[in-house]
Structure 1
């Protein structure tokens, strides 16, 4: 998701680093260091990992490890003593067996001296083989003992170096490329960022980000970077990462209540929450209503759908199909009837039956069609919705932002739902739409199934844009 925009953000860091390093080379103010360059996205990953670490837990863990090591040392001490005792007993048994063997051969020698001249030779051979066998076995036993002691010492050494290795790994650089430092500290100036930020602005516009949003991001990054003191090339990447992240976080975080909170507030008053959906044809408005009905049904609420799109052919059948699939009540009239009357009936039904949520489907219309926009205003006057939500297609990029702005001027919308966000590689609409109309994104459609919808979370969105590995931020 948003791969194109992520690449442009990363390129900003690389471009600025290239500018400053090239200048440092000309000034003879550059020296290469050992290590590797950290990637742009690694700064966010390291920050997230540090936030998740509980220091008290680390202290307790280290104490536990120390206690475990002491216990293991004790157990090794007793086991070594036990092994030594057993080894001593084995040696005594071997010596006793050897003594018996020597007496046995000596008796045989006395008995056979007169009758067999080859006896002494055989006896020598048997003694030779037995001695070789003993010599071969004894080094193996000693070597085995040495290996056991060496293994124990190795285990202790491994454990003692465990924390230091982890510390080294945490501090080690990531990514590829050279790591440089400056002999004399450098300061990021306007001339360093001028070309870089122009390229960033062009990249944002190519990614369907609205002009005013692209300008705001560039100005914020410029103010954040200029005057920064840098000693190493990695400082440039880190400062750029933080500047971009801060700028984007201000853009996408538009405050507003969630629909769930509003349902609870209306429920406390004994009233249903009435939500009216608007937008142009083909953005997935009717399907989104089915998804939301399913979403809140699973949360324990009882929605009802109003089929107020009475003009488009097949619209009533389509919304009825979704209502039947998820198992909610639908209020509908004949094709061509008054859409406002359908919405009014749905609201009255919800009040009479104690249902908590009314979802009003309306006919898709272009923002330039004055007659249809007036009809939409009538539905709003009659049904008195608590929320008017614009449903836009994320893949249309800047067009979705312009459409939302027009609908907001005509009817004063309260929030936005973006469909097909999972297929959006650019991310322009997701980045721009809330900031332009100053209204929050409430939900994102992330697939074709009824469960493929999620409440919008600015922090989640930020992680999508500034995370190299999408699987680490998916919920």
Structure 2
């Protein structure tokens, strides 16, 4: 029995006890009209949310045989390093030749994590234990993998908060040299510092609804292209707006 049918039955018993069975027709009709209004309202909300998550901007799509450089930026603890490997692994299975560059010089263990993930997924990687300049590491990595004919070079950067001006200044240097559950102000800070081409929503296994994606899309005017649904390499899905909105 559906919840709506249950409510109709409650109306029936209420009017039957108080006024007799002749009032049931009115009660059911009133409930039905309310239900129709509710359904229409829900459809309108659903359609508007779908429009919000689809800004009409073409998504970032690498091309096989032509070198594409993708810089990953995101909040601290958002699962960015794992997502870099998932993104590379996804495209590797589709026929690309990806490579990973670790340009996170702030977080202890960042290189080891990327090295472990890349080795497990059999994806070439580049990084340094001694170099402190992330831009230099990125440039060296890009040059190396271009020579190896990699057509998708992914650069993993340090996690950031919008208050960290120094890190954002470093982030601005990446495109000059080499080529979010995020709230509105965090995503806007990234947009103001770099050319955001697309959004990946991570950790959907821990935050099943993912409503923060609405704020990110509104702030960056960039489409969501993938969602991460777990820690494993294959728990990575192409974003489909309608099923996503139904979960909100």
* Common fold: TM-score over 0.5: yes
Contact residue 278 and residue 364 of structure 1 kept, 8 A: yes
Contact residue 445 and residue 453 of structure 1 kept, 8 A: yes
Q: Which has the higher helix share?
A: 1
- How far did residue 282 of structure 1 move? 1.0
Q: Can you give the 5+ residue segments of structure 2 that lack an aligned partner in the other structure?
A: 8-22
Q: In the aligned structure 2, how far is the partner of 1:425 from the partner of 1:329?
A: 32
Q: In the aligned structure 2, how far is the partner of 1:408 from the partner of 1:328?
A: 29
Corresponding position: 1:339 with 2:134: yes
Find the counterpart in structure 1 of residue 49 from structure 2. 248
- How far did residue 304 of structure 1 move? 0.5
1:301-340 matches, cutoff 5 A:
301-340=96-135
Find the counterpart in structure 1 of residue 17 from structure 2. none
Q: In the aligned structure 2, how far is the partner of 1:337 from the partner of 1:234?
A: 62
Q: In the aligned structure 1, how far is the partner of 2:104 from the partner of 2:130?
A: 8
Find the counterpart in structure 2 of residue 351 from structure 1. 146
Kindly name which structure, 1 or 2, has the bigger radius of gyration based on alpha carbons. 1
**Aligned with residue 215 of structure 2, among 423, 432, 440:** 432
SS at match of 2:71: strand
Find the counterpart in structure 2 of residue 179 from structure 1. 28
- How far did residue 240 of structure 1 move? 1.6
Find the counterpart in structure 2 of residue 40 from structure 1. none
- How far did residue 425 of structure 1 move? 4.7
Q: In the aligned structure 1, how far is the partner of 2:138 from the partner of 2:215?
A: 31
Find the counterpart in structure 2 of residue 75 from structure 1. none
Find the counterpart in structure 2 of residue 441 from structure 1. 224
TM-aligned CA distance change 1:433 to 1:424, over 3 Å:
same
Q: Can you give the 5+ residue segments of structure 1 that lack an aligned partner in the other structure?
A: 1-9, 15-30, 35-177, 183-230, 385-391, 466-475
SS at match of 2:29: strand
Q: In the aligned structure 1, how far is the partner of 2:52 from the partner of 2:160?
A: 28
Spell out, residue by residue over 1:73-97, the C-alpha distance to the aligned partner (whole angstroms, 9 max, x if none).
xxxxxxxxxxxxxxxxxxxxxxxxx
TM-score by length of 1: 0.45
Count of aligned residue pairs for this structure pair: 230
1:23-422 matches, cutoff 5 A:
32-33=24-25, 179-181=28-30, 232-259=33-60, 262-264=61-63, 267=64, 270-384=65-179, 392=180, 394=181, 399-422=182-205
Q: CA RMSD in A?
A: 2.7
Q: In the aligned structure 1, how far is the partner of 2:28 from the partner of 2:41?
A: 16
